[in-house]
Amino acid sequence: MDGLLVIDKPQGLSSHDIVARARRATHIKQIGHAGTLDPLATGVLVLCIGQATRLSEYLLGEDKAYVGRIKLGERTNTDDAEGEVVETRPVPPISDEQLRALEQQFTGAIQQVPPQFSAIKRNGQRAYALARKGETVELAARVVQIQQMTLVCEPTETAACDHLKITVECGSGTYIRSLARDIGEALGCGGHLTQLQRTRIERFTIEQAISLEALADWQTHLLPMDEAVLDMPALHLDEAQTKRVLQGQFLEVGIVTKDAFVPARLNNLCRLYNEQGVLIAIGKHEGPLLKPVKVLATTG
């Protein structure tokens, strides 16, 4: 079986743990996930099953949405609650005007340094592996895209604003842990992420996500695998065209329907279906030709 499962990942389990549980529930080995969630985080994790694993790369670059909680006044070595506190500072009074200014400061294309405890490789080794050895990992800043962010003070019995609720819509590659750290630094007191829920990966939302217990009835929750690439235009091929695509042969664009326009942001990619409406390949326009770049079926 091929398709997608949208899981509501609980706290304390890694993305790899969720894949292992899905393999046991479905008895299918070919399962992967699109977009890792840290064990601390909960929420939307899209599993790709069977042939859908070959489409996971198209989900990895999709926009995401999160809601989280930042504890101010404490900095940790992992930038989240799983790490050791390495510095404490008093939290100053925080006004609504300051929060609105921070929202503006951290919206748009921003420079962000990933956490030292991350899966980014440096000299062939994962940064977290080096950090666990006590090494200081210098990671280069990268540009990430924040479409929208809101910050709200969450008072406690001891302080008017020592926690912030953060809601973020962002592009791929954004670390919310780094946002928490940088917002804390901008306020002059430091901070780290204590809670995080991913509420959306592009069109896949927390409302449609299923629990791990629902994996017992996983087939009723399986989504068609072409939902991973619905932002690509669709081309429907006749029998002869289907045969050529399944053999890895190019098609002339002129013999394909006129809805073949593919936006540049999709890298000229499109979905190719046979006459029965089955997704058989991902194609790419190269000048006047359409090239099959991922053939997903062996028969028409």
70 and 10 in one domain?
no
How much is the pLDDT for 196? Answer: 97
3 state SS of 268? coil
Query: 3-state SS of 154-223?
Result: CCCCCCCCCEEEEEEEECCCCCHHHHHHHHHHHCCCCEEEEEEEEEEECCEEHHHCECCHHHHHHHHHCE
162 and 68 in one domain?
yes
How much is the pLDDT for 213? Answer: 96
How much is the pLDDT for 116? Answer: 72
69 and 57 in one domain?
no
Instruction: Give the predicted TM-score (pTM) of the model.
Output: 0.87
14 and 129 in one domain?
no
Residue with tokens 């940088």: 182
Question: Last residue of a domain, which of 227, 242, 266?
Answer: 227
20 and 30 in one domain?
yes
How much is the pLDDT for 258? Answer: 44
175 and 69 in one domain?
yes
Let me know: does 132 contact 64? Beta carbons within 8 Å: no
161 and 97 in one domain?
yes
Let me know: does 86 contact 74? Beta carbons within 8 Å: no
How much is the pLDDT for 158? Answer: 72
Vertex 184, ends 118 and 43: CA angle to 5°? 50
How much is the pLDDT for 130? Answer: 47
Query: What is residue 53's DSSP assignment?
Result: G
107 and 74 in one domain?
yes
3 state SS of 18? helix
7 and 41 in one domain?
yes
196 and 174 in one domain?
yes
How much is the pLDDT for 192? Answer: 97
100 and 222 in one domain?
no
Number of compact structural domains in the chain: 3
Question: Last residue of a domain, which of 168, 193, 227?
Answer: 227
CATH of the domain at 8: 3.30.2350.10
Residue 38 is among the residues annotated as catalytic for this protein:
yes
* Residue 285 placed within a domain: yes
**What six digits make up the tokens of 182?**
């940088």
HSE on the CB side for 8, CA within 13 Å? Answer: 11
CATH of the domain at 263: 2.30.130.10
How much is the pLDDT for 117? Answer: 60
- Which residue among the candidates 8, 38, 80, 182 is catalytic per the annotation? 38
- Helices and strands, number each (H, E), in the chain: 6, 18
Query: CA-CA distance, 50 to 222, in Å (whole number)?
Result: 11
Question: Last residue of a domain, which of 183, 201, 219?
Answer: 201
* Residue 173 placed within a domain: yes
Query: The domain containing residue 99 runs over which residues?
Result: 64-201
135 and 8 in one domain?
no
* Residue 300 placed within a domain: no
Give average pLDDT by consecutive 10-residue segment, the chain, 300 residues. Answer: 95 94 96 90 96 91 94 94 93 95 97 75 55 62 95 84 96 93 96 97 95 96 94 90 92 60 65 93 87 80
- Helices 96-105 and 176-186 cross at an angle (nearest 10°) of 130
